[in-house]
Structure 1
Amino acid sequence: MESENIKCLIIGSGPAGYTAAIYAARAGLKPIMYQGLQPGGQLTITNDVENFPGYPDGINGPQMMEDLRKQAERFGTDVRYGIATDVDFSSKPLKVTIDENKEIEAHTVIIATGASAKWLGLESESRLNGSGVSACAVCDGFFYRGQEVAIVGAGDTACEEASYLANLCSKVYMIVRRGEMKASQIMQNRVMKNPKIEILWNSVTDEVLGEFAVEGVRVKNIVTGELKEVPVKGFFVAIGHEPNSKIFQKYVNHDEQGYLKTIPGTTKTNVDGVFACGDVQDNVYRQAVTAAGTGCMAALDAERYLVDEELH
Structure 2
Amino acid sequence: MTTNFQAIIIGGGPAGVSAALYLARANISTAIIENGPGALARAHKIDNYYGISASGIKMYAEGLEQAAALGATIIQDEVLAVEYTGSYMVTLKNTAEPLTAPVIILATGTKNISLAIEGLAALEGRGISYCAVCDGFFFRKKKVAVVGNGPYAIHEAEHLKHLAASVTILTNGKEDSLAKEAGFATITTPLTKVSGDGRLEAVHFDDGTTMEADGLFLALGTADSTDLARKLGAQLKERYVAIDEQGATNVPGLFAAGDCTGGLRQVAKAVYEGSLAGMSAVKYIRNL
TM exceeding 0.5: yes
Note if 1:32 corresponds to 2:31.
yes
| Kept after mapping to 2: 8 A contact 1:249/1:258 | no
**Could you say which residue in structure 2 is the equivalent of 1:104?**
99
Q: How many residues align?
A: 181
Give the CA deviation at 1:46.
1.1
**Could you say which residue in structure 1 is the equivalent of 2:44?**
47
Give the CA deviation at 1:42.
1.4
Q: Which consecutive residues of structure 1, in runs of 5 or more, have no partner in the other structure? A: 122-241
Distance 1:285 1:99, change over 3 A: same
Distance 1:74 1:117, change over 3 A: same
* Counterpart Cα distance in 2 of 1:103 and 1:68: 25
Note if 1:247 corresponds to 2:242.
no
Q: Which amino acid aligns with 2:266?
A: Q
SS at match of 1:296: helix
Deviations 1:141-176 (A, max 9, x none): xxxxxxxxxxxxxxxxxxxxxxxxxxxxxxxxxxxx
* Counterpart Cα distance in 2 of 1:48 and 1:31: 29
Report the aligned-residue RMSD.
2.2
Give the CA deviation at 1:118.
5.5
Distance 1:244 1:93, change over 3 A: closer
Identical pairs, percent: 27
Q: Which amino acid aligns with 1:290?
A: K
SS at match of 2:98: strand
Deviations 1:82-125 (A, max 9, x none): 11111112x3211111117431110111111111346899xxxx
* Counterpart Cα distance in 2 of 1:256 and 1:291: 18
| Kept after mapping to 2: 8 A contact 1:85/1:98 | yes
Note if 1:11 corresponds to 2:6.
no
* Counterpart Cα distance in 1 of 2:30 and 2:51: 26
**Could you say which residue in structure 1 is the equivalent of 2:266?**
287
Deviations 1:155-213 (A, max 9, x none): xxxxxxxxxxxxxxxxxxxxxxxxxxxxxxxxxxxxxxxxxxxxxxxxxxxxxxxxxxx
**Could you say which residue in structure 2 is the equivalent of 1:73?**
68
Distance 1:119 1:19, change over 3 A: same
Distance 1:119 1:46, change over 3 A: farther
* Counterpart Cα distance in 2 of 1:99 and 1:20: 23
Q: Which amino acid aligns with 2:81?
A: D
* Counterpart Cα distance in 2 of 1:94 and 1:120: 30
* Counterpart Cα distance in 2 of 1:258 and 1:85: 19
Give the TM-score of the pair, scaled to structure 2: 0.58
